[in-house]
Structure 1
Amino acid sequence: MTGSILVADDETSIRESLTIVLEDEGYNCTAVENGEEAIQVIDQNSFDIIVSDLKMPKRDGLGVLEYALQHSSDTLTIIITAHATIETAISALRKGAADYILKPLDFDEVLIRIENLLEHKKVAQENKYLREKIDQEYNFNHIIGESDAMKKVYKMVERVSSANSNVLVTGKSGTGKELVARAIHSNSDRSNKPFLAINCGAIPEDLVESELFGHTKGAFTGATTDKDGVFVAAHGGTVFLDEIAEIPLNLQVNLLRVLQEREVKPVGSNKTINFDTRIISATNQDLEAEVEKGNFRDDLYYRLNVVELSLPPLQQRRDDIPLLAHHFLKKYNKELKRNLKGISSEAMSAMMAYQWKGQVRELENVIERSVLLSDSDYLQLQDLPSAIRDASGSEEFNMDSESLDQAVRVFEKHHIKSMLKRTEGNKSEAARLLGIDPSTLYRKMERLGLSD
């Protein structure tokens, strides 16, 4: 094992013996004989674990513990005591000790305790890193988009994050429904609890009930152990049910009962388990139409759809294409170890004109592919798939400004002109093709200096 350990004990035989045992196991050890010396080396070094005697001259083990908690919060402290009273142990643990060991020391036991604490610390650090990474990636401030349509999404995410109401996220495949669900969780009071996502359309029908509600050992062939379903496993946090329309009709009544009662009965069990979990579901289908067809229960639909958050397709937020493209360029420069400096105006023009049926996911895939294959300092038109190149049309335009805001204005102006040209000046039809209201089109034309 590896790790740095501080041993503080005024008994020479214990201090030296413990140091030898730990160093034989591969630990890097520092040994001191009183609490004041312990504090001095804590100021000068970083330790994974402190093993400190409770009774020492100058400053006792609890004093060392309190100092370590204030000045080296990532360090875990084990208290050694010859006073075998439960009060002593409880006092040390209440003050923040990670563990305590009674004298006389069993060195094998000490090694096991230290190994367990280091493993616990490693897992805790990994979880902290993952939470910080998820918070950074899924905080709604980091969702890419400055269009009016996305500003409405941000406002709705911010509003619903503070509540516990069920949310139904709707939108075409590739619009980022899970990203928004994670943003809601990340900005809620549940952010330090689990977020579990389950794709209802990817689970075999005979296993859906087990995945959602859990099962007991022996409940069916292959059930070799008890297993919690997602609602219980995410207790205190959030469950994201993607493709909720794919839930089999015969299980929808069970799901409705679970959502109403906030308790589940695992497959093969007669006992119910309570849970406190927020439910966010998503679909790319028209659930109201599915209700009309008899494919989805209306009572379940209304239970899930307390708040609906509809994500706009990329056609309705074309202003965001340059922002998204540059974001993905930066991302895949890093992941693929490339160093493209930007995107040519011809390539961006083609991407602005293209109808992104695969939404943001398709745009990201195109940028990843193009970054990988490009031989230029800038992503060029020829780096894009032929379908996108063909969408650029014959009209060319130049953009000299490196400002992203200016780039957006140029592309937006160019695209509106293209739509007006296609509709022979019919602004209502152009607005429909652009996916915006006619009044919004008039405001944009005025802002961009486009005359009638």
Structure 2
Amino acid sequence: MKKRPNSPPLSEWKVLVFASKDEPLALLLNSIPILKSRITIIYDVKKALEALNHGNYTHVMSDVTKQNPMARRIMTWVHVNHPDIETYYLGVNGHPSGEIDIWKLSGGKIFTHSMIGIDPLTEPLSVLYTEETPIKWLSHAKCECLQIRERLDHRRNNVVMIIGASGTAKAVLAQIAHFSSQRCEGLFVFANCSPSETGGLNDNIWTAECENRLRRSIRHMFDQSDRGSVYFHGIDKLDIVAQHIMFEEIKKVVDAPVSEKNPRLIICATSKYLEEDVGKGNFSTELFSLISDHIINIPSLSQFKDELPMLAENLLRAYCLTERIPDRKLTKDALDTIRSHVWDENLRGLFQVLKQSYMMADSTYIKPIHLNLSPHLDKNDTLIDQSHSIKAALLKHKGVVTRAAKELDVSRSHLYNLMEGLEIPKGFGLPPIKKKQREERERKNIAKQKNQK
């Protein structure tokens, strides 16, 4: 609950009630000691936010607890945009608050239930997703999601494929879409398709019993997510036999009437474009054809380097807001460090660094020293990103190539080859005195070679 300094008398109250269901509403209305004519009841999140912008309300109340993700989104938005409005959670309807059902692929042969959990990035990103922010990365992701939502046939069960590099919050965006839709009454099931154990991936050892066990586990997840969503993380990690089984089970759901017990939306996520794997026979043509009608592309942060400081500031603010902790600010030098860093883990990596830096900072301001950043190379990095990482490693280790190579997990000779290809001069990162000494030695060596000739 958040209170204003001067609360108006009851006669001046104007209340917006965000309601999730009709059943507990009568009890809630009877508990509000004002005329019913001064109460507006809204069931839709978007309509509630529009009304709050134009309705001059004094109070916002919810018929659910703060565990409801949609109610939390509204209350958080009110805290940010209308701090003079009082907010109350008055309900007992504790819909799971962003909780997801997590399954893992054991031995590559069967999905088993792992845990029920909450992704720590979901709530902060939900805040930014709800707000009207100029962050281009988020605007792009929202636009992709909304375009697909408009194309879905709501008279049937649908399949969507999300493509995005590691750490681009594919699962979080899928959860936000789930909890903002009518599917929120059903479960969000997260299934990790990367085998949790080594072995068991050879096609030759698949038996009829193994296939049946995998079918039953997939079917069980679909039953659990009745009217909800199922998210398959890393669908390309399945072997070709498992892909064929997955195709058959998803096809049954797509073809089934919506009245039957099935998820309303199946989401298949991958970190790469699958056309090449399909052409090489490494990914099922049937499964690709089934899941690729509706594709959402989530961009990497490397495509939006100039706005990284603004994204970091807003993500830190949302984190502080949702955790109910005091605000902290990033200094200009910290923002410059964030801009120049190569975020191979994308948004999730940035969020993790911001959380750690908040705990390490001993004042209101977060400085570069509080940012736990380690430069490293990734095979998917652009040439510009590779150059940034190498320069960062060399600067960190004061130009000592051996140490920089160890940090980047490459050999010393390979790092020299990369530096030559990226036109990074030898001696980059050395302190001025050592750099001058190095240049002097090189001049003497050149002169000596000339004299020998």
Q: Normalising by the residue count of structure 1, what TM-score does the alignment of the two structures yield?
A: 0.49
Q: Normalising by the residue count of structure 2, what TM-score does the alignment of the two structures yield?
A: 0.49
